Amino acid sequence: MKVTVLAPAKINLSLDILGKRPDGYHLVKMLMQSVDLCDIVSVWDTGDGKISLSCNADGVPCEKTNTAWRAAEAFFTFTKKRNPGIGIKIKKRIPVSAGLAGGSTDAAAVLVALNELMNTRLSKEELCDIGEDVGADVPFCIMGATMVATGIGTILTPAPDMPECSILVAKPPVSVSTKEAYALADDRESYWEPHTDDAVEAVCDGELQKIADSLYNDFEELIHLKEVDNIKELMLENGALGACMSGSGPTVFGLFEDQGAAEDCAGLLEKDCEMVTVCRPLDHGCIILD
């Protein structure tokens, strides 16, 4: 039996870093949104008692350091079931190290797939409990839709669905170290006033322009990447209602009312970006494909 799962990326409509716990984890408040830029993750029973993993993308480790592999191990530890041997195949469309939770959503997809494959009938909340030990974004990727995330990002509160719109996503050819980005936050004399409540209020009002006006990311203010600034400027000059960096970057997204304008702007960005795509907001996280 093979189970195939659609694994959506996420964007951060707002991201505030509020502090740091004694164990080193950072406290955040975020408004997160699933989008229909998705990986496809297949899981099946091999019968050999081992975990094997393959991926179509260069640079993705296909061994125990991969979050999908770790999710499989965490699943069997939590359920106390014997691993019969599983194969995992990841077809990536979400770019790696982009601030879009590509690794976390693959891990979430493995948990969803194993729950079906092993007939364990765990609730989404139980899957989130497992996922929390794998990565802070994994619970959101299981639940998906529009969520307020607090604590270290694992305490989720549903928000109203985001209004229909086109979301232009562009990744410039630069890399960002999440660890170093958080270190910049730690170097601040004090933490900045949070912005996420404004974004949540905007989503509750259901006004796309208000949401666009409330986009915010602490990392963007800390890192100051010229590539991010250039992409934002181009998006805003070509019809975006608002634009912002996602996660620790470097990917930038812009909110558009008009899909044609988003696609035209995508064409302008393609020559200078590693990945450009137009997507839409989703009202779900990882789901099993028929």
Instruction: For the domain covering 166-279, report its CATH number.
Output: 3.30.70.890
- Do 235 and 168 meet the contact criterion of CB atoms below 8 Å apart? yes
- H or E segment and range at residue 215: none
Amino acid 46: pLDDT: 97
Question: Considering only CA atoms, which of 262, 31, 255, 259 is closest in space to residue 161?
Answer: 31
pLDDT in tens, the chain (290 residues): 999 999 999 999 999 999 999 988 899 999 999 999 999 999 999 999 999 999 999 889 999 999 999 999 999 999 999 999 999 999 999 999 999 999 999 999 999 999 999 999 999 999 999 999 999 999 999 999 999 999 999 999 999 999 999 999 999 999 888 888 888 888 887 777 889 999 999 999 999 999 999 999 999 989 999 999 999 999 999 999 999 999 999 999 999 999 999 999 999 999 999 999 999 999 999 999 97
Domain locations along the chain: 2-17+34-144+283-288, 166-279
Query: Exactly one of 10, 92, 171, 210 is catalytic; which is it?
Result: 10
Annotation marks residue 36 as catalytic: no
CATH topology match: 2-17+34-144+283-288 vs 166-279: no
- Do 229 and 131 meet the contact criterion of CB atoms below 8 Å apart? no
Annotation marks residue 64 as catalytic: no
The CATH T-level fold of domain 2-17+34-144+283-288 is: Ribosomal Protein S5; domain 2 (3.30.230)
Dist CA 206 CA 162 (whole Å) = 7
Q: Provide the residue type at 39 as one letter.
A: D
Query: Exactly one of 16, 39, 106, 137 is catalytic; which is it?
Result: 137
pTM of the model: 0.96
